[in-house]
């Protein structure tokens, strides 16, 4: 049986999580705008969260870890929200000072 004809299970969630992760990495690598890079980081974190939840679900993985996957995903979501708030504050401050949010011109932030 192929992955397409099987009932939805753990491998399907892992494939979707991997696709989200790869899309996020490509977005981070190709975007020059800070907001595009932040969206790529969020895609990477969402792909990882999907894998955590899939591994933790008893319906998908009989040897699953219970609610631990959901708790880890919730912790990652909280960290992602804090990261987005700090990164947006830095981006707005940089835009206010330089009138651009191009990541290639961010070498002026070196300390």
Contact status, residue 32 vs residue 63, Cβ threshold 8 Å = no
- Alpha carbon distance 96, 90 (integer Å): 10
- Least Cα distance to 21 among 46, 54, 55, 52 occurs for 46
Can you give the pLDDT at residue 88? 87
DSSP helix, strand, coil percent of the chain (3-state; round to 5): 75, 0, 25
Q: What pLDDT tens digit does each residue of the chain (111 aa) get?
A: 576 777 888 888 899 999 999 999 999 999 888 888 889 999 999 999 988 888 877 766 676 666 777 888 889 889 989 988 998 888 888 888 777 777 777 666 665
Domains of the chain, CATH where assigned: 10-100 (1.10.287.3510)
Distances from the Cα of 74 to the Cαs of 41, 46, 53, in angstroms? 16, 11, 10
């Amino acid at each position: 049986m192929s992955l397409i004809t099987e009932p939805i299970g753990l491998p399907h969630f892992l494939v979707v999580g991997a696709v989200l992760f790869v899309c996020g990495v490509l977005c981070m690598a190709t975007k020059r705008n800070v907001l595009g890079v932040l969206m790529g980081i969020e895609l990477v974190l969402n792909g990882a969260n999907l894998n955590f939840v899939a591994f933790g679900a008893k319906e998908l993985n009989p040897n699953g870890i219970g609610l631990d996957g959901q708790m880890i995903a919730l912790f990652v979501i909280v960290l992602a929200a804090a990261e987005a708030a700090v990164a947006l504050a830095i981006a707005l401050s940089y835009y206010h000072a330089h009138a651009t949010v191009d990541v290639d011109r961010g070498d002026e932030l070196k300390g």
